[in-house]
Amino acid sequence: MARYEQIASDLRDAIVRGDYPIGAQLPSEAELALRYSAARGTVRQAVALLAAEGLVGSRQGARRIVLGSERSQSFAELHSFAQWARSMGYRASGTVLSSRRRPCTPAEAVRLSLEPGEEVLAVLRLRRLDGEPVLVERTVYAGWIAPAVERLDPECESVTQELYESVGLVFAYGEHLIDAIAAGSEDARLLGVRRGSPLLRQRRTTTNQEGRPVECSDDRYRAGSVTFSIRNSTSANPLVRRAGD
């Protein structure tokens, strides 16, 4: 772990613990540099991490202030249902309901950077939290990763982790579109809700470290089961609102 990550971690713990309550000022960079025997640049990298997490805010000329005190665990949490559930203290399970190869649609070819008509693997999964069905996941995997996906246990808890362990695949980047839609008849049957009831939809495309698209997915959460949370500031945040499509 890098020095600046250690410092960030230490400061984060102090904030979460309440040493620096919301609204309080953080020590100055100079003081932190002295305290940790590090250069000011290193301290700046540390607090930049906290700022990116939305825990602290800063303005030129004034001391940094604490904005929040809940820690969040970033990408892995957003991407892997199982990892997120585990860290929240839930027991996650899931079932593959269908899995078949087919030629990709033109839209999928664009999203996964494939040649038109190239083969993909379409998987329908139902995910549960503590036994309750909360998520219908319709995922399309690029052909080159399909064999590894097909080898997975249909009841496999964490696809992300299994793919990492079996073929060393790492999900590194993702784009996510979030909106609300009405449950279709299949959604309603699987989630145990009425047709037309509200669902939170997350459409995502994920790529590996080299920027090569791996999968795109349409995930539908039962209303009330999950909430997406974001902290942001005037300087740099990736969440934007888009017109309906």
Site for DNA in 57-76 (CB under 7 A): 58-64
Which one, of 64, 154, 79, 206, lies nearest residue 56 by Cα? 64
Q: Does the footprint of a copy of itself cover residue 30 (CB under 8 A)? A: no
Chain residues 187-226 in contact with a copy of itself, contact rule CB under 8 A: 196-201, 207, 209-212, 221, 223-226
d(CA 94, CA 152) in angstroms, rounded, equals 12
Binding flag, residue 54, a copy of itself (CB under 8 A): yes
Sole window of 32-40, 92-100, 116-124, 172-180 interacting with a copy of itself (rule: CB under 8 A): 172-180
As measured in angstroms, the least distance from the Cβ of 198 to a copy of itself is 3
CB atoms within 10 A of CB 70: 11
Q: Could you give the dihedral angle defined by the CA atoms of residues 96, 100, 106 and 109, in that order, rounded to the nearest 10 degrees?
A: 70
| Total length of the chain | 245
Contact indicator for 162, 148 with CB cutoff of 8 Å = no
Q: Which residue in 18, 34, 35, 39 binds DNA (CB under 7 A)?
A: 39
Closest CA to 218 of 227, 206, 232: 206
What CA–CA distance (Å, rounded) separates 12 from 27? 13
d(CA 86, CA 192): 23
**Residue 209: is it exposed, middle or buried by C-beta count within 10 angstroms (0-12/13-18/19+)?**
exposed
Nearer to a copy of itself, 141 or 171 (CB): 171
Measured from the CB atom, the residue of 99 and 173 that comes closer to a copy of itself is 173
Q: Minimum distance between the CB of residue 164 and DNA, rounded to whole angstroms? A: 14
CB-CB contact of 108 with 101 (8 Å):
no
Cβ proximity to DNA, 25 vs 105, nearer residue: 25
C-beta of 101 vs 210, nearer to a copy of itself = 210
Report 167-226 residues binding DNA (CB under 7 A). Answer: 210
Q: Answer yes or no whether residue 174 interacts with a copy of itself by CB under 8 A.
A: yes
- Binding stretches for DNA (CB under 7 A): 2-5, 26, 28-31, 37-42, 44-45, 58-64, 210
